[in-house]
Amino acid sequence: MNPQLLYEKLYAHYGPQYWWPGEGFEIGIGAILTQNTNWRNVEKALANLKNHDLLEPAAILLCDTKLLSSLIEPAGFSHQKAEYLRNFCTLWLENPSPARDELLAVKGIGAETADCILLYLLETPEFVIDAYTVRISTRLGFGTSTKKQFWKDYYETSLEKDVSLFKEFHALFVVHAKEYCKKTRPICQTCFLQSDCKNKIIDGK
């Protein structure tokens, strides 16, 4: 199996995922808030920001730090993420179309967050690599590396550079990791990719 065929099998099984939630600058805020937490918590934080008209960079920079931290508290690490949001907003007001290296130079924005912003907010074909992608890719036998940059290069050279494709593929990796390819107890017996998997666990073995 190759990456394109994997995408087709995942898409056929799960259908379109319609990621990323939100629109406009809210997408960038969500990309930062979702670090080390789940999307349900992020939705609560985004709702708080929306209720206070704080989904724009200028508004966030003018907001009192304590208030900002309290509003995004559901997403965890609120003081830290408040700083990260301010850093991102400062960059955005200076340049609303930053390149990847400019995003990576901002404290609080790593490779995964930068690529989410580029792909979902700026519609740039950057393949997002997260722990789910690495887990599924290694179990399927595409490679043995645990380095995210390896997998980013792998998928970007194996697939047509298409924003819609990259968006859906990332979302499909996430849903498959949650439904079947779990970290400690993968559900291999009923997984539709069982025949393609090099590390499947059948009958507890």
Q: Which two tokens stand for residue 28?
A: 């960038």
pLDDT at 96: 95
3-state helix, strand, coil in the chain (%, to 5): 60, 0, 40
pLDDT at 19: 80
Residues 6+ apart with CB under 8 A from 60: 29, 49, 54, 68, 85, 86, 89
pLDDT at 204: 47
Q: How far apart are CA 146 and CA 151, in angstroms?
A: 8
Q: How far apart are CA 117 and CA 192, in angstroms?
A: 31
Say whether 91 sits in a helix, a strand or coil: helix
| pLDDT tens-digit series, residues 73-98 | 999 999 999 999 999 999 999 999 99
Q: How far apart are CA 50 and CA 62, in angstroms?
A: 15
How confident is the prediction for the chain on average, in pLDDT? Answer: 94
From the CA atom positions of the chain, what is the Rg in Å?
A: 18
- What pLDDT band is residue 46 in, cutting at 50, 70 and 90? very high
Q: DSSP string covering 44-56, please?
A: HHHHHHHHTT--S
State percent of the chain over pLDDT 70: 97
| pLDDT tens-digit series, residues 28-41 | 999 999 999 988 99
pLDDT at 114: 98
User: Residue 129 burial (CB < 10 Å; 0-12/13-18/19+)?
Assistant: buried
- What pLDDT band is residue 205 in, cutting at 50, 70 and 90? very low
Which structural domains are found in the chain, ordered by start?
3-17+127-195 (1.10.1670.10), 25-121 (1.10.340.30)
| pLDDT tens-digit series, residues 151-162 | 999 999 999 999
pLDDT at 202: 60
